[in-house]
Amino acid sequence: MKLANYVYGQWLEGAGDGIALQDPVTGEELVRVSSEGIDTGRALEFARNTGGPALRALGYEQRAALLGAIVEVLSANRAEYFDIALRNSGSTEADAAFDVDGAIFTLKSYVRAGKALGPARHLKEGARVALAKTDAFQGQHFLMPLSGVAVFINAFNFPAWGLWEKAAPALLAGVPVLVKPATPTAWLTQRMVEDVVKAGILPVGALSIVCGSARDLLDHVGECDVVSFTGSADTAARMRTHPNVVARSVRINIEADSINCAILGPDAQPGTPEFDLAVKEIVREMTIKTGQKCTAIRRVFAPAAASRPLADAVAAKLASYRVGNPKSEGVRVGPLVSRAQQAAALEGLAKLREECETVFGGDADFAPVDADPAVSAFVQPTLLYCDKGLDARHVHDVEVFGPVATIVPYADTAEAIALARRGRGSLVASVYSGDAAFLAELVPGIAELHGRVMVVDAAVGTNHTGHGNVMPTCLHGGPGRAGGGEELGGLRALATYHRRCVVQGGPALLEALSRDAADAALLGS
């Protein structure tokens, strides 16, 4: 079966044999995708001219209602999405829930938030500005929805959440969506789009999908479009410097590589709640979705005295996890999504081991449960230890996108800050400490280079939402090597799909424009 593309209001199969999507456990071919012969320029024009105006004719609360209808469709088909995730991504049930239920939860959040904007169709920012000695000539800042398309070029690890966490604020803003999912796991994204389109929820042209190669897509984006990319820093750099993107100053949002960290405070010694909470979260981040999360813990910084006990505690928990075919009873860790990703992870792991010792895993003869190593894409969860600190290179520069983490001891708070900053920009750091003096120095010292800092102490306990969990009401993104982008953050995400302008004129004109506007201050609520 070849997955169809949905463009210019039509379901179209791409030409040629296409690219095969495979089961990462058995190697079985599942479906094929092809974008060959799809006119991407026409697809964008159709979305701009047909889908966009129809969306913007509605108010924010009406668009929020559309998102609510999408939630109902996705919830009704949840079991089928889990089955696709199992077969195409090798997901355990917990992995599938993390992706599919995360998508539904995020959409629900925007349904609720969007209602607060009411029937308005654009946003008013701040008070009027006096521009003359009388009130005859004034200025008013507005945020107007873009008349272009939100183009999503997504990563393979979250085929469900990756679509809807971006689409929810775009559609709520009145901007149509064209998604190009990562090829290895495109099936789930395509199926969700198909279900929503067949349900007739959105105006025609408001949601499009191209499966397979992006081909010449960026040749056709314009100054009113937004390109949102999640993936490697190398690809992001090529996109930023694409001639058409540069020439037309296309707005681009990037989430790229991120070597996130967890930091144990000096008080997080063995036997303390903070130590135990850190152990639990490190193991969870190494194993959920087999470490294939952009927010996963890659480096763990611990006080020198606690670093070896920490390594032992994490290794002991990892030893109890069964790794293998998700269909087999008791399996908690599945494969990577493809043999190509397996090869990339093993190559990165080899680099890390040049400057690290192996505490757990890394067995060349590792045998997954109920799976043939010759055709499957497994990587054994591997915990490393590196005592080189800031002198290490690969530990701070190489992101192994799999179940691999490295423990690095530190001597004092200044070194902990320096180690965290050595990642040159990350999506998230989690800190396990109740030491007020340590936190007062550490958090300001690392916050500049992290999109999110999560602090857990005994009082927070298990109430925290998780190092790797992206909450729709909070910022997702990070500076530097993490891409410099921003997503989510509640209604703040709508700012990406609006353009700020000031209208200068008489009070009657400004009053008329303001009547159809919601207060932009709500974006920060």
CA-to-CA separations, 260 to 185, 207, 226, 276, 457, in angstroms, rounded: 24, 33, 27, 20, 19
DSSP 85: I
CA-to-CA separations, 283 to 6, 279, 304, 333, in angstroms, rounded: 40, 6, 20, 11
- Residue 43 near residue 225 (C-beta atoms within 8 A): no
- Residue 482 near residue 255 (C-beta atoms within 8 A): yes
DSSP 18: -
Give every CB contact of residue 48 below 8 A, 6+ residues apart in sequence. Answer: 147, 148, 149, 176, 224
- 352 CB burial (10 A radius; 0-12, 13-18, 19+): buried
Which one of the listed residues 165, 211, 274, 294 is annotated catalytic?
A: 294
- Residue 419 near residue 426 (C-beta atoms within 8 A): no
First and final C-alpha spacing in the chain: 46
**What is the C-alpha separation between 60 and 361, in angstroms, rounded?**
51
441 given a catalytic annotation = no
Residue in 164, 163, 65 with CA at minimum distance from that of residue 114: 65
Backbone phi, then psi, for 489, in 5-degree steps? Answer: 80, 35
Other Cβ atoms closer than 10 A to 328: 13
- Residue 173 near residue 121 (C-beta atoms within 8 A): no
Which one of the listed residues 13, 165, 211, 255 is annotated catalytic?
A: 255
Other Cβ atoms closer than 10 A to 353: 17
Residue in 191, 165, 172 with CA at minimum distance from that of residue 253: 165
Tokens of 175: 């901007």
What 3 state SS string does 192-254 have?
HHHHHHHCCCCCCCCEEECCCCCCCHHHHCCCCCEEEEECCHHHHHHHHCCHHHHHCCCEEEE
255 given a catalytic annotation = yes
Residue in 390, 480, 410, 420 with CA at minimum distance from that of residue 298: 420
Other Cβ atoms closer than 10 A to 17: 10
Give the residue numbers marked as catalytic.
255, 294
